[in-house]
Amino acid sequence: MTTFKNKAAFVTGAASGIGLAITKALVARGANVMMADIDVDRLKAEMDAIDAPDKLAMIHCEVTDYAAVQAARDATLERFGKVHFVFNNAGVSLAGRSGHIAIKDWQWITDINLMGVVHGVEAFLPGMRVHGEEGCIVNTASMAGHTPTPYMPPYHATKFAVVGYSEALEMELKDSPISVSVLCPTWVKSNIYNASFGSPSKAGQDAEKFKNNPVYESTKSLVDNGMSAEKFADLVMTSIAKKRFYVFNDPEVRPVFDMRRDRILADFDACMADLKLDS
C-alpha cells in the first residue's frame, strides 16, 4: 500500500477546489507539497491558512507553458529533493454549441485540460523513474471523460483524452513502482462553472452577461450541491494508497456505463454481421 509520509507531491490548481483539498489531505498524511497555480494571491492565502510552513511551498505555474512546468519541477526538487506524487489537476470548463465555438477557445481548453496534464507527466516522470521509489501520477479527468452531454463538446473532448492518455500511461508503467490514477468525479464543489469566463472569447468582458443561460445555471446548481472537495480528496488518497486506477464518486452513474457498453457492442456486432454478407 502506498504511503504519503515524508514524500513530496506537486499539485496544480492548488489554490482552490479539488487541488486545494488534495493539498490539505496530503499534508494531513505527512506529505510535503509544492502548491502550483496561476492565482498567486489566493495560493499564498490558502497556503498560509494551512499553516504548515515546513511541509508547503508554492509557485506560480501556467500549465500551458511547458517551460513553466519544468521550472516548477526544478523548484520542487530544490525544495524537497524528490517528487513522488504528481497531481495534474488544473482544469477549466467550456460550454457551447458545435459550429458556434471559437477555435481559439478550443485551443485554450485543450492547452489547459489536456496539454497541462501532458506537460506535468513529461516534466516529472523521468525523474520519478530515476529515483525508483514508489509514487503515483494522478490526472484529473471527469465523468465527462466517459459519457457525453450536449453543449459541452470541448470539455468532453479534453476529458475523454485525459482518460485515454492515463490508460495508456498506466500500461507503460505497469512494471514500475509508479502507479497511475485518473480522477473521474461528477459533481464536486468548486468554482469550475466560472472558469470559462477566462476563455479568449470572453476574457475582459463582464462575466454577468454570460451567466443568464440554462447550461450555466444547471451546471452551477449541480456543482454547488455536489460532494465536498474534502470528501473527494479523502477518496483520492484512499484510492492512491490502494493503487486504484479509476476514481469515481457517484453511484448514480453506474447505469451510464452499462448503456454505453450496450450501444458499443450493438454496433460492433452489427458491423461484424455486415462484414459477413455476400457482396
Q: Considering 66, 151, 155, 216, which one is annotated as catalytic?
A: 155
Is the pLDDT score of 143 beyond 80? yes
CB distance 188 to 232 below 8 Å: yes
Look at residue 9 and give its three-state secondary structure: strand
**What is the per-residue pLDDT across 68-86, written as a single tens digit (0 to 9) for each?**
999 999 999 999 999 999 9
Residue 278's pLDDT is 59
What are the domain boundaries of the chain? Answer: 8-252
- In 98-244, which ranges are E strands? 135-140, 178-183
**What is the per-residue pLDDT across 219-232, written as a single tens digit (0 to 9) for each?**
888 888 899 999 99
Look up residue 20 and give its three cell numbers. 486545494
Which residue from 234, 130, 148 is spatially nearest to 183, judged by alpha carbons? 234
Residue 204's pLDDT is 78
Q: Check: CATH 3.90.1150.10 for 8-252?
A: no
Please state whether 120 falls in left (phi above 0), alpha (psi between -120 and 50) or beta: alpha
Average pLDDT over residues 180-209: 86
Contacts of 205 (CB under 8 A, 6+ apart): 197
Q: What is the pTM of this model?
A: 0.94
Which residue from 127, 117, 31 is spatially nearest to 77, judged by alpha carbons? 127
Catalytic site includes residue 155: yes
Interatomic CA distance for residues 25 and 247, integer angstroms: 16
Which residue from 124, 23, 112 is spatially nearest to 73, judged by alpha carbons? 124
The per-residue pLDDT of the chain, averaged, comes to: 94
Residue 243's pLDDT is 97
